[in-house]
Amino acid sequence: MFLGDAGADVVRNDPEPFVWSRSKHRGDLSPDEADVIVVSGTEPPVAPNAHTVVLHLPPYIGDGWAGGAESEGLLTASMGIAMRQGSFDGGPIECIVPIATMLQGIWGAACAVAALLERETSGRGQVVTVSGEHGAMVASAGALTFRHADLTAPARRGAGPGGSVPFYRTYRCADGEWLFFGALIPNFTRIGFEVLGISELFDDPRLEGRGRAAMLAPDHAPWVTQTIAERFASAPRDEWLAKLRAAGCPSGAILDRDVWLDHPQIEAIGMHERDGDVERPGLSFDITRSDDATPIEQRRAPVNGPLEHVRVLYLGAIIAGPFSASLLGELGADVIKVEPLTGDSFRGPGFGAYNKGQRGIALDLRHDDGRAVFEDLVRTADIVIDNYRPGVLDRLRIDHDSLRAINPHIISASITGFGERGPFGGDAGFDPVLQAMSGMMSAQGGDSDPVFYTVPVNDVAASAVIAFACTVALFDRAHTGRAQRVTTSLTAMSALLQTEALTRYEGRPPAPIGSRDHRDGYHVVTDGWVRVDGHVDDPSVAERTRADAVRALTDAGIAAVAARTVAEVAADPKSYELEVLHRDPRPERDASTAGRHAFFSRTMRRDVTVSPALGEHTREILVELGYASAHVEALLASAGVGAVVG
């Protein structure tokens, strides 16, 4: 569907769910005539000729489960996602949004287009494999990047279904309605506490002068959460939301999923598509070509990744933006993170996962020296990605028109929270704010409390969608010579991920609804849980270990896996053999990171990537730009350029 949405002529041969049939038609097309052949199943495919790109989307790599059928539940159980989801009792949770398998498809489409772009120079196709594990790796990159010592350390704080961070979780208000309080970064925490009238909390003597950071500790998170809960319980939801929004602190009402497709913001960004009697989420990305074309220099065929000779600049913070750039880095692109001298506000836990494969340069874009270096970088770049809220690009003079004045064939890509128009268009939006407003949280919780998804579902989906759209823009530019502007939003992702639940047509089956500690398909055993696809009515399963239960079920032809923790995934040698995980190559670190996100039969990226320290590559990049030694030293001594390492 994504390839069709980007303009490909997609011929389908097999029956498939109606909701994914957009942009396709039935027909007879010889494999020899196809540019791309998309196949699933566990058998390794064979390309019909040297020119064809074969996109293989198997349910797993290596050893899987009986039957070899695609299964979101088995995949998330095996990859540690289910055990990481916050719950009341700490057991695994079956999430009703099929995030891992959807990301497998979106990311697979991006990889296929990257292979087509590589074919423009080499003239050769290849087999591209994006498995279920690869989709889960995109979904859960944050969990799969860790220091080994952290896997044995006790948890810092409890994690119920509403979230584990006191200033970034769900709360119930005086009228019984729920909201999500999104005061994640320090400035938003300060603003949010001012609105709530609890600013004195920062100086509470129990925090021993450590303020916000100490609030995350196991001894403090419960009472801080209780203090915030009591404030929210003192007034109705709409009153709090109005105050928080007026002050600029991200927050959102936890709404019913069934009303999301009709929400004014969904309508404003064009995500409510009507086709006769069918209503469904529309296109989740937008690509706009410039009117004028400029010649594109022919490049040599890539070897270390299909995008080896593509340069990406990234500006912004948090998850969706940097991770989209990192995914392009997984395809071989040279990604440069342009960071303020004070650093990314999201440096800390999670930074290494979502910024790996990038080189770092520190620039103050408001300073003449920093601005001059940035413009020289833009002249060498193919893509500039940001995830600023609307208006910031214009203020910093890094909007598409300003970039195109510097580099006439530039591709700019922007991710916003709510899109660039509509009643919420100018607001800051974090992933769980859209989880709340789109009904994901209420649908997952069912009749119980709403559930904050531990996987940042809208963020990582936006990253994969932007990576796909950027590969499409590169491919189009190679043929037309036109600059491109690419956009998407977390709002669009919240509709895309719930396509099956939001699509309306006569005869549609009921959309899935969760429950308190929802775990359909899970069975408790003596040492944990197993996840089963199919009905099991054998009480002896509960008396077995996970390994014994899985073995017995598999022997009976029933698909089953152990519900593993991330620590167990990390301890499994096969995780490294199959490159689900890579060991951090830096000798001073005892750490691992998410491994190979896709396999390319000819142009695999072979190096192991890590995230940069602040300004780690500033000097290196200045030299690459051709600056003389004296100029480099002068820039490093100025107030506009930084080479801070640490």
Query: Residue 181 domain-assigned?
Result: yes
In which band, very low, low, confident or very high, does the pLDDT at 156 lie, cut at 50, 70 and 90? very low
**CATH number of 174's domain:** 3.30.1540.10
Domain assignment of residue 220, given as a range: 168-251
Query: Residue 508 domain-assigned?
Result: no
Query: Residue 510 domain-assigned?
Result: no
Q: Are 445 and 331 found together in one domain?
A: yes
Beta-strand relationship, 482-489 and 286-293: antiparallel
Query: Residue 345 domain-assigned?
Result: yes
pTM here?
A: 0.97
pLDDT per residue as tens digits for the range 87-128: 999 999 999 999 999 999 999 999 999 999 999 999 999 999
Helix (H) or strand (E) holding 178: strand 178-182
Residue 354 has pLDDT above 80, yes or no: yes
Q: Are 393 and 348 found together in one domain?
A: yes
pLDDT per residue as tens digits for the range 414-435: 999 999 999 999 899 999 999 9
Q: Are 290 and 215 found together in one domain?
A: no
**CA 230 – CA 393 distance, rounded (Å):** 39
**CA quadruple 194, 228, 259, 457: dihedral, nearest 10:** 90
pLDDT per residue as tens digits for the range 7-17: 999 998 777 77
Query: Residue 358 domain-assigned?
Result: yes
Q: Please report, for residues 302, 303, 594, 597, the alpha-carbon distance to residue 600 in angstroms, rounded to integers and kept in the order given.
A: 12, 11, 17, 10
| Average pLDDT value over all residues in the chain | 95
Rounded to 5°, the CA angle 621-107-9 comes to 115
28-33 long-range contacts, Cβ below 8 Å, gap at least 24? none
Q: Are 422 and 293 found together in one domain?
A: yes
pLDDT per residue as tens digits for the range 260-270: 999 999 999 99
Q: Are 233 and 299 found together in one domain?
A: no
In which band, very low, low, confident or very high, does the pLDDT at 169 lie, cut at 50, 70 and 90? very high
Q: Are 366 and 459 found together in one domain?
A: yes
Query: Residue 319 domain-assigned?
Result: yes
Q: Are 234 and 349 found together in one domain?
A: no
Q: Are 362 and 219 found together in one domain?
A: no
pLDDT for res 645? 58
In which band, very low, low, confident or very high, does the pLDDT at 157 lie, cut at 50, 70 and 90? very low
Residue 50 has pLDDT above 70, yes or no: yes
CB 331 within 8 Å of CB 605: yes
**CATH number of 449's domain:** 3.40.50.10540
Lowest mean pLDDT among 42-56, 298-312, 443-457, 518-532: 298-312
Query: Residue 386 domain-assigned?
Result: yes
Q: At what angle do helices 99-122 and 457-480 cross, to 10 degrees?
A: 20
Q: Are 298 and 404 found together in one domain?
A: yes
Query: Residue 366 domain-assigned?
Result: yes
Q: Are 359 and 470 found together in one domain?
A: yes
Q: What values do phi and psi take at 51, rounded to 5?
A: -95, -15
CB 456 within 8 Å of CB 274: no
Query: Which residues, 6 or more positions from 310, have their beta carbon under 8 angstroms from its beta carbon?
Result: 328, 332, 333, 334, 382, 383, 474
Q: Are 177 and 293 found together in one domain?
A: no
pLDDT per residue as tens digits for the range 367-419: 999 999 999 999 999 999 999 998 999 999 999 999 999 999 999 999 999 99
* Residue 419: Cβ-neighbour burial (10 angstroms; 0-12, 13-18, 19+): buried
> How many domains in the chain?
2
**DSSP character string of 108-166:** HHHHHHHHHHHHHHH----EEE--HHHHHHHHTTTTTSEEHHHHHSPPSS--BTTBSBT
Q: Are 242 and 361 found together in one domain?
A: no
pLDDT per residue as tens digits for the range 221-233: 999 999 999 999 9
Helix (H) or strand (E) holding 238: helix 237-247
